């Protein structure tokens, strides 16, 4: 029986060549557009700092305070501490959104409807009268992108806006914007503007005040109410009308607010162009703040009264005796025995020269370095009553001479130190060994490179005033090394508590076996040696120093509460006219000490070592030790991320 076979239909496969030329061109065009778009995105976005944008401002705000909580220095626009979303009154948020970005809560960073509306109005007006940027885009322009109008920047702005909306959400974007926007009169952020224009915390603003600040966003320099009160008031009325149109106020409330507009109560925060101390401590403060978003308030060790005294005595000395004798610069550092720097002067005038001669300048310390020779001798078992020969000496072609000429023969160590006898000290250094002298200096806190040539004993190796003063503080404290420090505590915005910082290096060497003899040596200098002009009329101990040809003159010493170092010299390292450490530097030191001790000192805190009227009780955070121990360490809350579980407090 024959079986009928059914013929299967031929399957036709799509062949691009059969699509027709126009369809092929269309597909190729789409593919080419995709490649161009992908290339453009890659080109535009490859340098965008995504993580820094997500973390917050590229430049964290650091608010420096003095030891008693007063503002220390404001550089650039004035900013108040970072405010959280809940700290802004609802009517301020309503005012900003009504006038700047009414659809903020509904778009995704790019408002196509707003762009179309702005384009239409601009065409009708024949010029640019309205923009279409959202608050998200404005934030990006404020903090993350350059202001140039290029294709690359426009691509970055669109993509970052979409990404920020997804990454941060509306509240965080608006919070960052309100803290970052410029509002005229030097005020950056709504909290700063509330303080400058109304002398209020931002949370205390009423409706008319909030509307006025929102109105400044359009043209802050032109509309700031201190210079243009009428223009600011007119703009405020426009904002109130916008709030009514947006349903955030009733027409009656908007009308009433226009009539209730309060007078300004402008205030100018204490502004300073800068200071040597602030420059020095800012590096430490920046390490603490890290990349934390918002503001970190850092309380420093600076005591305003002592800083004022230091600046006055240095300027008076240079304007008077210093000018006559060719001394054009001086520096002064004052600290507590544990190294808390309470005053710092880095030169004659900060405005004309920001170079810090107290910290950065490396100069020959002269006879102030002899402290380390005699400390090394005490460690070798010698006593102050032991004798050393003060006579002509030659060491490898080097022949040191005493400053006033002549030699005293056999003298005690105490006499040789008090009279600053060079020949006797050079002989003593040879006896104890130059390596031992260098080791003694390092032990007391000298960080500079020391060259172990015979001239080391008389201060031939350069040091900084800050390090040298810290070394003398070690003697006063009885432990070494004392590392000068400048931060008492800090608190990052949004964190429930602050943290103490204090000394970051533990003074581990016990000097008690040698401290009485070292104190005796330094007292002898002031009582009947080369430092008699430093005598403030109470307990004082210190050492004079003069480098070759009177290029540098020093006095470093201490009373009960303070350790102070003074340097006098010239930036070009040329000789002065006979100035020695026992003259002008000693008199600057005495004048500072007498003025500093004229008022009874406040009790010194056992926790911070600083004189202050108010102590903040907070746990301690050893920034350096924690950052060395944990890669995940975060200074803002002093925590690190363990391998498992939640972040933990670092307790190093």
Least-confidence region, from 127-141, 206-220, 271-285, 366-380: 127-141
pLDDT > 80? residue 76 = no
Same domain, 206 and 90: yes
pLDDT > 80? residue 124 = no
Same domain, 35 and 180: no
Specify if 624 maps to a domain.
no
Cα separation, 533 vs 620, whole angstroms: 42
Same domain, 40 and 80: no
- 83 Cβ contact partners less than 8 Å away, ≥ 6 residues apart: 175, 178, 179, 189, 190, 191, 202, 203, 493
Specify if 608 maps to a domain.
no
Same domain, 83 and 195: yes
Least-confidence region, from 180-194, 333-347, 630-644: 630-644
Cα separation, 65 vs 337, whole angstroms: 21
Same domain, 171 and 37: no
Cα separation, 639 vs 540, whole angstroms: 44
Specify if 251 maps to a domain.
yes
Same domain, 123 and 173: yes
Q: Is the dihedral of CA 643, 644, 646, 648 positive or negative?
A: negative
Of 340 and 265, the structure prediction assigns the larger pLDDT to 340
In this prediction, residue 287 carries a pLDDT of: 74
In this prediction, residue 576 carries a pLDDT of: 96
Same domain, 35 and 135: no
Interval 579-599 mean pLDDT: 95
Of 95 and 141, the structure prediction assigns the larger pLDDT to 95
Specify if 315 maps to a domain.
no
Domain termination residue (choose one: 211, 244, 259)? 259
Cα separation, 187 vs 193, whole angstroms: 5
Specify if 209 maps to a domain.
yes
SS3 530: coil
Same domain, 255 and 110: yes
Of 81 and 559, the structure prediction assigns the larger pLDDT to 559
Same domain, 41 and 79: no
Least-confidence region, from 13-22, 353-362, 503-512, 582-591: 13-22
In this prediction, residue 466 carries a pLDDT of: 97
In this prediction, residue 18 carries a pLDDT of: 54
Same domain, 116 and 242: yes
Same domain, 189 and 141: yes
What CATH number corresponds to the domain at position 444? 3.40.710.10
Cα separation, 650 vs 621, whole angstroms: 7
Domain termination residue (choose one: 214, 244, 259)? 259
In this prediction, residue 615 carries a pLDDT of: 47
Least-confidence region, from 22-26, 528-532, 565-569, 586-590: 22-26
Specify if 649 maps to a domain.
no
Distances (CA, A) of 392 to 350, 395, 401, 453, 457: 45, 10, 7, 18, 16
Specify if 642 maps to a domain.
no
Q: 26-30, 58-62, 98-102, 108-112 — which one is most confidently predicted on average?
A: 98-102
What CATH number corresponds to the domain at position 147? 1.10.3810.10
Domain termination residue (choose one: 430, 457, 484)? 457
Q: Which helix or strand (DSSP H or E) is residue 342 part of?
A: strand 341-345
Question: Per the structure, how many domains does the chain have?
Answer: 3
> Helix axis angle, 135-143 relative to 151-167, nearest 10°?
110
In this prediction, residue 297 carries a pLDDT of: 84
Distances (CA, A) of 277 to 68, 302, 339, 355: 16, 8, 14, 11
Specify if 602 maps to a domain.
no
Interval 356-375 mean pLDDT: 96
Of 231 and 601, the structure prediction assigns the larger pLDDT to 231
Q: Confirm if 580 and 546 have CB atoms less than 8 A apart.
A: yes
Model confidence at 34, in pLDDT bands (50, 70, 90)? low
- Residue 251's domain spans which residues? 75-259
Quick: pLDDT tens for 592-614. 999 999 876 554 454 444 544 44
Least-confidence region, from 29-38, 46-55, 466-475: 46-55
Least-confidence region, from 12-16, 167-171, 307-311: 12-16
Same domain, 129 and 246: yes
């Amino acid at each position: 029986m024959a079986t009928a076979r059914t013929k299967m239909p031929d399957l036709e496969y799509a062949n691009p060549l059969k699509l027709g030329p126009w369809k092929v061109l269309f597909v190729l065009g789409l593919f080419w557009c995709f490649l161009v778009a992908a290339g453009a995105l890659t080109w535009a976005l490859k340098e965008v700092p995504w993580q820094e944008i997500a973390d917050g401002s590229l430049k964290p705000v650091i608010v420096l305070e003095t030891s008693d909580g007063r503002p220390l220095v404001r550089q650039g626009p004035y900013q108040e501490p970072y405010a959280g979303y809940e700290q802004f009154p609802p009517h301020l948020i309503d005012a900003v959104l009504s006038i700047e970005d009414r659809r903020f809560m509904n778009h995704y960073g790019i408002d196509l409807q707003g762009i179309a509306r702005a384009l239409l109005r601009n065409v009708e007006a024949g010029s640019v009268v309205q923009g279409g940027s959202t608050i998200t885009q404005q934030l990006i322009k404020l903090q993350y992108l350059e202001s140039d109008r290029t294709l690359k920047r426009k691509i970055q702005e669109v993509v970052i806006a979409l990404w920020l909306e997804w990454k941060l959400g509306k509240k965080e974007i608006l919070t960052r914007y309100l803290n970052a926007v410029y509002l005229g009169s030097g005020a950056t952020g709504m909290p700063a503007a509330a303080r400058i224009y109304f002398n209020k915390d931002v949370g205390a603003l009423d409706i008319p005040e909030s509307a006025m600040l929102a109105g400044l966003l359009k043209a802050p320099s032109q509309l700031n109410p201190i210079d243009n009160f009428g223009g600011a008031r007119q703009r405020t009325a426009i904002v109130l009308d916008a709030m009514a149109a947006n349903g955030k106020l009733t027409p009656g409330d908007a009308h009433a607010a226009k009539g209730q507009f309060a007078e300004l109560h402008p205030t100018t925060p204490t502004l300073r162009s800068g200071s040597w101390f602030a420059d020095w401590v800012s590096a430490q403060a920046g390490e603490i703040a890290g990349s934390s978003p918002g503001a970190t308030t850092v309380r420093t060790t600076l005591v305003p009264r002592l800083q004022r005294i230091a600046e006055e005595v240095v300027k008076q000395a240079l304007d008077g005796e210093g000018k006559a004798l060719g001394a054009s610069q001086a520096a002064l550092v004052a600290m507590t025995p544990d190294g808390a720097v309470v005053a710092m002067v880095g030169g004659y005038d900060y405005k004309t020269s920001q170079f810090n001669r107290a910290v950065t300048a490396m100069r020959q310390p002269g006879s102030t370095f002899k402290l380390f020779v005699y400390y090394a001798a005490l460690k070798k078992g010698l006593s102050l009553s032991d004798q050393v020969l003060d006579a002509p000496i030659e060491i490898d072609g080097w022949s040191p001479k005493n400053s006033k000429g002549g030699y005293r023969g056999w003298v005690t160590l105490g006499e040789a130190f008090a009279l600053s006898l060079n020949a006797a000290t050079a002989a003593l250094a040879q006896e104890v060994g130059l390596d031992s002298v260098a080791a003694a200096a390092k032990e007391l806190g000298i960080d500079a490179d020391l060259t172990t040539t015979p001239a080391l004993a008389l201060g031939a190796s350069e040091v900084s005033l800050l390090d040298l003063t810290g070394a003398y503080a070690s003697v006063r404290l009885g432990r070494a090394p004392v590392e000068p420090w400048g931060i008492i505590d800090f608190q990052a915005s949004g964190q429930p508590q602050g943290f103490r910082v204090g000394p970051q290096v533990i003074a581990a060497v016990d000097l008690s076996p040698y401290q009485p003899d070292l104190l005796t040596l330094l007292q002898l200098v002031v009582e009947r040696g080369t430092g008699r002009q430093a005598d403030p009329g109470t307990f004082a101990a210190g050492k004079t120093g003069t480098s070759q040809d009177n290029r540098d003159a020093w006095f470093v010493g201490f009373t009960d509460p303070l350790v102070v170092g003074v340097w006098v010299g010239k930036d070009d390292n040329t000789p002065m006219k006979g100035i020695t450490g026992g003259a002008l530097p000693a008199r600057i030191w005495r004048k500072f000490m007498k003025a500093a001790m004229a008022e009874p000192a406040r009790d010194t805190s056992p926790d911070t070592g600083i004189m202050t009227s108010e102590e903040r009780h907070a746990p301690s955070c050893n920034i350096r030790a924690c950052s060395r121990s944990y890669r995940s360490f975060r200074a803002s809350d002093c925590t690190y991320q363990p391998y498992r579980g939640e972040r933990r407090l670092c307790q190093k």
